[in-house]
Chains A and B, each alone.
Chain A
């Protein structure tokens, strides 16, 4: 056995590590996108891959998101496993027709003859003082589409394990990377090629009084809120949903059955968000266990403000604590 390769890495470095591992071990894995080869990606997620694997497998594309999505589909139907990068989620909408009408449907409409084993990666969310169109969280658009998996890591370890799982998954995966925490923390990641399961939530902290449900960058504030609540003697269970579609309802319902209370935290606006689906699932599946209404702490139902006001839009620790105090009081 070779020596374990454990590295302290950030979330974006974990993405790079997973890409390199899988390219090393599977010749069918290729990466494509804008500025990803020689430049190594605007966030450095693909840095070094071109030097290791060459232009043949690390492809700079013309600046056309719809083309990137469709090209990846064509590659995937022939057995390659493309990982296509959208530079920012705000530019993914040009690719919606390809993603919705083809990637998500290829297996179904050919009755399994062809499939789309691909990953669409995109940095998403606010909090880094980026220009307009660079800060939205629209995961719900994709969660609504049958045939897509939507996966969102919230730590370096989960970025590594979930990205490996996404690449190995035989169906299309939208892999959304919360850029606010791309470099927020480092974590020891064992670079051993071990994937995490795609269809399960991750329980990050156990507690009996309330279930806090979140994903992406907001997991950070949610964990901080749980710390604060513990100081008051309120023991919160914290669940990172990670795969917002298909949704692991069992883990969520079991937790709510235990705690009787649920607060859902996400950065995207609340209206029609994934939090609404989770709240509905709890109402359908755990209504009699509830001791208080399900509460959501989300972004406002408005356009993401430019960066002078973006902090006012983002859910904060205090908002989460307040929401929990409200449901505990009932």
Chain B
């Protein structure tokens, strides 16, 4: 028998559950400004999240997917992406969106049933939220191929859930990224649950990251609740991609601390004990402890940050609630670049029916 090749998947964690370094920290830890900015973003994302859920519960927002447990990996993605890179999200990436410049009121508009919630002004090349599972992976390789065709030093980050890695879209896309040597980093956010389907049912593979090997890409595992592990892996993978050295798959291991969406009740399928254990690994608390131990944070700063985040969110909510719905004619106005004759009479009918609602 001939021994052909050996493969490996590395797994990285720097901070333990209490925020104590387990090892020498990566160079990213020396950038205290960036680390503090990361912490603030995580807290803002979590503050936004609880408000969005409250809005849904009081009938002021539609079905909404909580970001609880994804704040750390989302923040690391947002920080590692350069403005000129392209982000291809799924639907639980609020923390990354904030750093891309998507406004909180735009996010509320999207989940509040308004298409303008994806008309992002700050990141015009980023793809909108993808609801059909894993379909965005194919777009990500297309965006990366466009970058390669034009010979640019840019890269793409594509998010997908652990459930999404079961779909052909993910597997076909990582396969193409390997075959075409594309500058795209897939972040498989393994939060253990796809609605009620546990990670163990998604695949018999020991890890999700190892699927990268079959596609000809490097696969890495990071503790998705460890900011330093996440930011190091993303910085490295993006730097490599921008330099034309190809893509990667990063499996970010975390836990979905909330329900799948506001329409779900996770107590039906998972135990309180499991949830309690997951909270002990919470990445925000972990980073806060680290910052506190490093002398970079204190209760006063925490109090000020909480107040500040609350105010920012309240302001966004006011803006969202004050935004009037588009006129019903908008439903045909963006279908094509210009309105085909075949639709003109239907547009007139809508305008006639809702006369006065025309802009």
B118 touches A74 (CB 8 A): no
Stretch with Cβ within 8 A of A (4 or more), from B2-10, B165-173, B311-319: B165-173
Contact with B along A68-100 (1 / 0, CB 8 A): 011111111111101000000000001001100
Per the 8 Å Cβ criterion, residues 145-188 of B in contact with A are: 145-149, 168-169, 172-173, 175-176, 179-180
Per the 8 Å Cβ criterion, residues 138-181 of A in contact with B are: 146-147, 149, 169-171
With contact pairs A111-B119, A113-B118, A199-B341 given, residues A74 and B138 touching in the complex (Cβ less than 8 Å) = yes
B338 nearest CB neighbor, chain A only: A170
A75 touches B337 (CB 8 A): no
Closest CB in chain B relative to A294 CB, distance in Å: 19
B144 touches A101 (CB 8 A): no
**Interface: B141 (CB within 8 A):** yes
Per the 8 Å Cβ criterion, residues 317-352 of B in contact with A are: 334-337, 340-343
A110 touches B176 (CB 8 A): no
B173 touches A67 (CB 8 A): yes
CB < 8 Å neighbour of B141 from A71, A80, A114, A249: A71
CB-CB under 8 A from B120, the residues of chain A are: 110, 113
Contact with A along B116-140 (1 / 0, CB 8 A): 1011100011011010100101111
A246 touches B343 (CB 8 A): yes
B146 touches A74 (CB 8 A): yes
B176 touches A62 (CB 8 A): yes
**Interface: A310 (CB within 8 A):** no
Closest CB in chain B relative to A209 CB, distance in Å: 27
B124 touches A113 (CB 8 A): yes
Per the 8 Å Cβ criterion, residues 91-144 of A in contact with B are: 94, 97-98, 101-102, 106-115
CB-CB under 8 A from B45, the residues of chain A are: none
Interface size on B, as a range, is 35 or more
A246 touches B340 (CB 8 A): yes
**Interface: B280 (CB within 8 A):** no
CB < 8 Å neighbour of B337 from A30, A74, A115: A115
**Interface: B115 (CB within 8 A):** yes
A104 nearest CB neighbor, chain B only: B335
Contact with B along A232-268 (1 / 0, CB 8 A): 0000000000000011111000000000000000000
A79 touches B128 (CB 8 A): no
CB < 8 Å neighbour of B172 from A62, A78, A170: A62
Q: What is the predominant secondary structure among interface residues of chain B facing chain A?
A: helix
B140 touches A147 (CB 8 A): no
A63 nearest CB neighbor, chain B only: B172
CB-CB under 8 A from B125, the residues of chain A are: 77-78, 114
**Interface: B189 (CB within 8 A):** no
A74 touches B144 (CB 8 A): yes
**Interface: A56 (CB within 8 A):** yes
B118 touches A77 (CB 8 A): no
**Interface: B217 (CB within 8 A):** no
CB-CB under 8 A from B335, the residues of chain A are: 107-108, 146-147
CA distance A140 to B342 in the complex (A): 16
A248 touches B341 (CB 8 A): yes
B149 touches A107 (CB 8 A): no
CA distance A22 to B10 in the complex (A): 47
